[in-house]
Amino acid sequence: MTKTFQRRTLITLASACLFAAAPAWAQSGAPLRVILPVGAGSGVDTIVRAAQNALSKALGQSVVIENLPGAGGITGTSALVKAAPDGNTVAFISNNHAVNPSVFKTMPYDSLNDITPISVVGGSPFVLVVNPAKVPVKNVKEMQALLKGKPGGFNMGSSGNGTIIHLAGEMFVDALDVQVQHIPYKGMGPMLTDIIGGQVEFGAAAVPAAQGHLASGRLKAIGVMGKQRVASLPDVPTIAEQGFPDVDIAGWFAVIGPKGLPAAQVERLHKGVVAAFNDPEVKAAMAKQDNIINPTTPDAAARFLKVEQDRYARLVTKANIKLD
């Protein structure tokens, strides 16, 4: 055997070993483009960036994150819908994806039929917060009595008209059967600032965004808006526990691909997402933010998105929320 042949054989064997060590669902070549229909620093942005390296490792390809905010997520999702169904473009969406068809008169895509669901990855809890000086109550029943005593005399903030935070607030108000004034803001940060300042008295908020203000006493948590208590707020009961079971809403985030994504690519991406969010470092980061991670199957994701869209449609109609 010649030395040249020996060298070629060794190189071939080494390449085969490297290939065998890669994940079975790895895809070489182009990077994975991850579209985020939200701004940098938002909740979903923070979650996806925490998992970026683990997702790259799991898939065996580089991951490039692209923020495309605007129009309640429609701008970014429109880019996803137009992408080639080759497994190299996905988007991480949140509740607004299921809200938008009910609040916008027209949509540039069908939110259920122009995508390929891959997984609903997890959720983030919401909490009802108040300015403790303006709303001096200890629980939901006391708050209901206060609001009923002055119909329309209290202001509820939100992160914007037609957003999931707005819908969460409307769900709360409807359950209490009270009348308030809705004040929309351009984001959760400005809303919380004005609740602290007393310009508005209360609103729904994502737990990570409110944690620091709750710890300082500038805000008070009246109840968790989902089914379970929150690890970082163990003494705050759910609103359902306090006698209002119709209040059941939380943030969620899911990964989708363009319409027509081949089954093999759906499986590859799903396995990669599950592996990434089971990474110990990612799990620790998610727990720190009170995010609950439980990736679903693609079929379960499709069913979930349909149920959520129908649920929000009923809430939007009831609250008479409309956007141009």
Distinct helix (H) and strand (E) counts, the chain: 11, 11
Amino acid letter, residue 109: Y
Q: Give the Cα separation of 214 and 232 in Å (integer).
A: 11
pLDDT reported for residue 23: 47
* Residue 103 near residue 322, CB atoms below 8 Å: yes
pLDDT reported for residue 72: 84
Query: CA dihedral defined by 253, 257, 263, 265, rounded to 10 degrees?
Result: -100
DSSP category for residue 240 = T
pLDDT reported for residue 26: 47
Helix (H, G, I), strand (E, B) or coil at 291: coil
Q: Give the Cα separation of 126 and 68 in Å (integer).
A: 24
Please report the DSSP string for 49-109 in residue order: HHHHHHHHHHHTS-EEEEE---GGGHHHHHHHHHS-SSSSEEEEEETHHHHHHHHBS--SS
Q: Give the Cα separation of 258 and 266 in Å (integer).
A: 10
pLDDT reported for residue 28: 53
Please provide residue 161's backbone torsions phi and psi, each rounded to the nearest 5 degrees: -65, 125
From residue 47, alpha-carbon distances to 78, 196, 285 in Å are 21, 26, 8
pLDDT reported for residue 52: 98
Report the largest interatomic distance among the alpha carbons of the chain, rounded to a whole angstrom: 96
Each of the 324 residues of the chain gets a pLDDT tens digit; together they read 554 444 444 444 444 444 444 444 445 579 999 999 988 878 899 899 999 999 999 999 999 999 999 888 999 999 999 999 999 999 999 999 999 999 998 999 999 999 999 999 999 999 999 999 999 999 999 999 999 999 999 999 998 889 899 999 999 999 999 999 999 998 888 999 999 999 999 999 999 889 899 999 999 999 999 999 999 999 999 999 999 999 999 999 999 999 999 999 999 999 999 999 999 999 999 998 899 999 999 999 999 999 999 999 999 998 888 776
pLDDT reported for residue 4: 47
Q: What is the token pair recorded at 318?
A: 């009831």
Burial-class residue 105 by CB neighbours within 10 Å (0-12, 13-18, 19+): exposed
Please report the DSSP string for 102-142 in residue order: HHBS--SS-TTTSEEEEEEEEEE-EEEEE-TTTS--SSHHH
176-203 burial by CB neighbour count: b if 16+ within 10 A, else e? bebebebbebeebeebbbbbbeebbbbb
pTM of the predicted model as reported, rounded to 2 decimal places: 0.83
Please provide residue 137's backbone torsions phi and psi, each rounded to the nearest 5 degrees: -125, 160
From residue 52, alpha-carbon distances to 42, 108, 118 in Å are 15, 29, 17
DSSP category for residue 295 = P
pLDDT reported for residue 135: 97
Q: In what order do the strands lie in the sheet with 220-224?
A: 181-184, 155-158, 202-206, 126-130, 220-224
Q: What is the token pair recorded at 11?
A: 């190189």
Helix (H, G, I), strand (E, B) or coil at 323: strand
pLDDT reported for residue 20: 41
Q: What is the token pair recorded at 247?
A: 């209040």
pLDDT reported for residue 160: 87
